[in-house]
Amino acid sequence: MAEQPNWHTSSRSSANQGDCVEVADNLPGRVLVRDGKDRSGPVLASAPATWRGFVRDLRAAR
């Protein structure tokens, strides 16, 4: 049986009245991202190092 994504909501999303990003980082070799309002919609997949770089750059831009 294939491992299922363990989705969690961004800690920054709670104040946005449902406008949230969900991330699953429990799968080997990939991080998945989806729109919390459209859970059956598209999913963005990236390598863990790419995701860490993206998050690092977002934090640096604040």
Answer whether residue 49 is part of any domain: yes
Say which residue the tokens 């363990």 belong to. 6
Residue ranges of the alpha helices (H) in the chain? 48-61
Q: How many domains does the chain have?
A: 1
Looking at residue 26, its pLDDT comes to: 96
Domain interval for residue 37: 23-62
Looking at residue 2, its pLDDT comes to: 75
Question: Residue type for 27, please?
Answer: L
Looking at residue 19, its pLDDT comes to: 73
**What are the pLDDT digits (tens) for 3-56?**
999 999 877 666 656 678 899 999 999 999 999 889 999 999 999 999 999 999
Looking at residue 14, its pLDDT comes to: 62
Predicted TM-score (pTM) above 0.85: no
Looking at residue 1, its pLDDT comes to: 63
Distance in angstroms (rounded) separating the CA atoms of residues 21 and 43? 11
Answer whether residue 11 is part of any domain: no
Distance in angstroms (rounded) separating the CA atoms of residues 30 and 26? 8
Answer whether residue 6 is part of any domain: no
